[in-house]
Amino acid sequence: MLLIEDDESVLDAIVASLESIGITQVTVARDGESGLAMIDAVRPAVVLLDLMLPVRDGFDVLAKLRQRRSGLQPERIVVISAMSDALSESALLQLGADFILSKPFTLERLEAAVTGG
């Protein structure tokens, strides 16, 4: 799993939450450019992607991932967003997100997002 998140407190909370549901292999990138660079090296099945990132924002990262999406790309892209209106979620799904995790979220929503349940 690859988590692309720049906010340290959010990052720590997500990693702790993932560990609590048994997911301990989490690679972290703190900006969009680093996240894109890690995709080929890590080959994560799931990418958790914040939208508001330094260097390259999450919208651009999502577009790049969607363009490159093949057997080497993540099976699941989960966008983490503070935007919660239906129009924003629809646009993100059209851009290639598989799941939108609106902040704040529960442990149950996080687990559903990363497992597809």
CB 9 within 8 A of CB 52: no
Query: Could you list the residue range(s) of the whole structural domain that residue 23 is in?
Result: 2-115
pLDDT in tens, the chain (117 residues): 999 999 999 999 999 999 999 999 999 999 999 999 998 788 899 999 999 999 999 989 998 888 875 555 678 999 998 876 655 788 888 888 999 998 889 999 999 999 887
The answer for residues whose C-beta is within 8 angstroms of residue 38's C-beta and 6 or more apart is 2, 27, 29
CATH code for the domain in which residue 97 is found:
3.40.50.2300
Q: How far apart are CA 85 and CA 83, in angstroms?
A: 6
Q: What is the pTM of this model?
A: 0.90
Rounded CA separation 7/10 (Å): 5
pLDDT of residue 54: 92
* CA–CA distances in Å: residue 44 to residues 17, 77, 87, 90: 18, 10, 28, 24
Count: domains in the chain: 1
